[in-house]
Amino acid sequence: MSKAAGDPERAINGLMSVAQLLEEPRLARLYTFVLREGEVTIDDIVDKLEMPRTTAYSDMGTLVELGVLTRNEEQKTHTYSAIPITLTANLDEDEYTVTPTLVEAFGRSPQDQDLDLLLEKHGLGKLAAALTYAVPYAEGEMSERIAARELDLQHAFAIAVLHALRDVVLDMRAVDPYFEDIRNARNQPVAEE
């Protein structure tokens, strides 16, 4: 049975927008870049992300159409800003909230061998699960050994993934307005060493 509150059309369009961000790492990286910067121009994107101008225009247009960026056309040079996204998925007793931090981790995967391999071998769900352990690990609330063991990956690979995600967590903690909504492994019972 469906339960609708608010505007179901807007909610479903938001779902599709988040899904597209989590399908295309380049869009994910561009979205979180704009979120971190606050307001950017196409020149900022071309310079800082070393992206071809035509690609920057095309991708920014896509992100505006998805509704995750706004374009301010009041000045000669248009500026863009990000709309913070959040999406909570519930399936039976399992719940996970997608925030810009997961989008950032996904967007970094083409430049990070460990994150890329994790996605290739285990999928986006495992990246989200790893992020739940990376948060308490990065904040010093869970040991590397426990976090790595709980990920159910080869130990050295799990540690490499945690290190990559630690950087994501530290970079996004102050930028992601929904950071506290990330399901956190420290809130789950963990077997002691």
Task: Please count the other Cβ atoms lying within 10 Å of the Cβ belonging to residue 184.
Answer: 18
- Kindly state whether residues 115 and 60 are assigned to the same domain: no
Residue 88 lies in a domain: no
Complete DSSP assignment for 103-159: HHHHHHGGG-HHHHHHHHHH-HHHHHHHHHHHHHHHTTSS-HHHHHHHTTS-HHHHH
Residue count (the chain)? 193
| pLDDT tens track for 101-143 | 999 999 999 999 999 999 999 999 999 999 999 999 999 999 9
**Selected residue with higher pLDDT from 94 and 188:** 94
Structure tokens at 136: 């308490």
Confirm if 79 and 72 have CB atoms less than 8 A apart.
Answer: yes
Model pLDDT, residue 20: 92
Q: Which of 57, 82, 107 is the last residue of a domain?
A: 82
Domain region containing 27: 8-82
Residue 3 lies in a domain: no
**Sequence-distant contacts of 36-42: CB under 8 A, at least 24 apart:** 36/171, 36/175, 38/81, 39/72, 39/79, 39/80, 39/81, 40/79, 40/80, 40/81, 41/77, 41/78, 41/79, 41/80, 42/78
Residue 149 lies in a domain: yes
Measured over the CA atoms of residue 120, residue 23, residue 129 and residue 103, the dihedral's sign is: positive
pTM for the structure as a whole: 0.88
> Residue 29: which CATH number?
1.10.10.10
Residue with tokens 């920014």: 60
Residue 43 pLDDT grade (very low, low, confident, very high; cuts 50, 70, 90):
very high
